[in-house]
Amino acid sequence: MVMFGLKAKNKTFALLTCFLLTIVFVVIGRYTEAHLDSQFGFGSMKLPASSFLGIIQAMKSLMCIIMVCIDYKKGSIISYVFLGGSIIFMLVSIITRGNMSSLPGIYNTIITMVSILIISNGLKKADRRAVTDYLTGLRNRRGMTQLLEKTIREKKPFHVVYFEIENFRTINDNLGHKYGDLALKSVADKLTEMENENTIYVSRIGGAEFAAVVFGNVDPRTFAERVMEKIGTSVTNVDEGFDISIALSVYSGISSFPGDADNTDDLLKFSDIAVYNAKHGNDKSRICFFTTDMKDSFYRQIELERIVKEALTREYFYMVYQPQYDIQNKKLRGFESLLRLRLPDGTNVSPGEFIPVAEKSELIMKIDSYVLKKAMRETKRMIELSGNTIMVSVNVSAKNISSPGFVDEIKTILEATSFPAECLEIEITEYSFAGSRDITMENVVTLRKMGIQIALDDFGTGYTSLSQVMHLPINLLKIDKSLIDDIEYNQVNRDFVDAIIYMGHLMNCEVISEGVESKEQLKLLKDHECDYVQGFVWGKPMEYDNAVELCKKAAS
């Protein structure tokens, strides 16, 4: 109930109580009307029957209004019956007795009925607003929940088909919320066209997320494919002196009742989990049905997010440093700083587990900042021991290097730590150029002007074209470990590594191979004129104190 917020059981009890009190007041009123020449009260405090009747009528009107506020549907019907009956009785009284004393009561009852009409209409609109999305006019999450709860009570099988617009945030960020709203309305219009009474109901759950409930013989995958096709071909055109076309695409996740869950919260949550797997899985159709395995994986993701947040505030993270060497003379080139996570109970959490989780949220930005500050602060001592001749390499996520504020953050940390810019190397991947390429290029160029070195990490495993690589302002190409692993036995790998080294030198870049673990690999890379190596063959990742000792030996 909108006004009182009573639960169904309490609402029924309150309505029944008011109903019984109204009957009591009606009976008292009828008795008073039959004794209008009398007085009512105690001792010297007496009221004329007409005045007492006015009080009874007012209380009756109050009870009717309260019933409407408790339940505007049932309350209105009951109130109109009572009040209409009261008017009839009062008219009969006027006609049969020829006494106009009941006329004010009729006016009062009519005013009460008008008030009830206004109140019930207001509550009806408020209820409708409570279950309607203000932007699209579709059901909102509450409206969808009510529909699901009703259907579950009726034990009708159905599917929840969840939709999420891909990269919707970029529309708001690049074009503004006005165009984001227009895109959402466009999606809502397409979904509304697909609604079908008794078989398909649609809603906006929130943000860029929509859901549909499909019944009967409607195949959920076929329905999801139709939605994707319809939304994918929808383009929003806005004419304000120029046209902006917004092409949209979506992911879809599906859960089922009663197969997957028997309550509303789990059905919506499971379909959302299925969307997550559609986004990060290998299904090219972008449609995913929920399975119990997904739930375990999802909860692990949530747990890892919690661990990362806690690690950032409670210093569970620490750095290790893997040395890099000149392949010709084994001279120390520098270190790659690597992040590690150890929980208070001694459990180590692999970077291969927590980094992908962080990359799917804004946590990766916080991790990058943490690593940059800690690595520069700790390696300042190593830099001084080497006479500013070694490099310290720090990995930076694609999200960060494409951020407009990244260069300013680097400047701030350099100033705070007094770290020499020429000894800092920022490692980025080919995927850094897949998103905001212009911002990434601008940041890289600015960093190079500051004297900072740029390394392209995991080269050979991404999708940057040769023409793009040739124009990147980088100093170092890093050959991915996966290409080095079989180099002793695989001629194709050898030829490919040789081509990368040759291309790097053509670009006036130095080349380093990571993951070098055997002397045979080392010899082959040396024969192919690779410049530097990094791997277990000459040095494992080491903690800070050991890295400092290595710098002392290298400097002596």
pLDDT tens track for 475-494: 999 998 888 988 988 898 89
pLDDT tens track for 250-281: 889 999 998 888 898 889 889 988 888 888 76
Distance of alpha carbon 467 from alpha carbon 555, whole angstroms: 40
- The whole-number pLDDT of residue 511 equals 95
- The whole-number pLDDT of residue 240 equals 52
- The whole-number pLDDT of residue 461 equals 57
Lowest-confidence segment of 145-154, 336-345, 408-417, 461-470 by average pLDDT: 461-470
Give residue limits of the domains in the chain: 8-130, 141-290, 304-473+540-555
Contacts of 162 by beta carbon, 8 Å cutoff, 6+ apart: 205, 209, 210, 211, 252, 253, 254, 255, 268, 271, 272, 274, 275
pLDDT band at 6 (very low <50, low <70, confident <90, very high): low
pLDDT over 60 at 159, yes or no: yes
Distance of alpha carbon 187 from alpha carbon 430, whole angstroms: 33
Task: Please give the residue that has the higher pLDDT: either 6 or 352.
Answer: 352
Query: What is the b/e burial string over 282-315, where b = at least 16 CB atoms within 10 angstroms of the residue's CB?
Result: eeeebbbbbeeebbeebeebeebbebbeebbeee
- The whole-number pLDDT of residue 454 equals 94
Q: What is the largest CA-CA distance in the chain?
A: 124
pLDDT over 90 at 322, yes or no: yes
pLDDT tens track for 332-362: 999 999 999 999 999 999 998 899 888 877 8
For the segment(s) 304-473+540-555, the CATH number from 3.40.50.300, 3.40.630.10, 3.20.20.450, 3.40.50.720 is 3.20.20.450
- The whole-number pLDDT of residue 2 equals 43
pLDDT over 80 at 379, yes or no: yes
Percent of the chain predicted with pLDDT > 90? 32
Across the chain, what does the average pLDDT equal?
Answer: 83
CB 283 within 8 A of CB 221: no
Average pLDDT for 457-483: 73
pLDDT over 60 at 220, yes or no: yes
Average pLDDT for 366-392: 93
pLDDT tens track for 107-153: 778 888 888 888 877 777 766 777 788 888 888 888 888 888 888 98
Task: Please give the residue that has the higher pLDDT: either 180 or 446.
Answer: 446
- The whole-number pLDDT of residue 35 equals 64
pLDDT band at 503 (very low <50, low <70, confident <90, very high): confident
Average pLDDT for 394-409: 91
pLDDT tens track for 190-218: 888 888 767 888 888 888 889 999 887 88
Query: What is the b/e burial string over 71-98, where b = at least 16 CB atoms within 10 angstroms of the residue's CB?
Result: bbeebbebbbebbeebbebbeebbeeee
Lowest-confidence segment of 160-169, 405-414, 496-505 by average pLDDT: 160-169
Q: 0.85 exceeded by the pTM?
A: no
pLDDT over 60 at 161, yes or no: yes
- The whole-number pLDDT of residue 227 equals 87
pLDDT over 90 at 242, yes or no: no
Strand (E) or helix (H) holding 385:
helix 363-386
Distance of alpha carbon 516 from alpha carbon 520, whole angstroms: 9
- The whole-number pLDDT of residue 1 equals 41
For the segment(s) 141-290, the CATH number from 3.40.50.150, 3.80.10.10, 3.30.70.270, 3.60.150.10 is 3.30.70.270
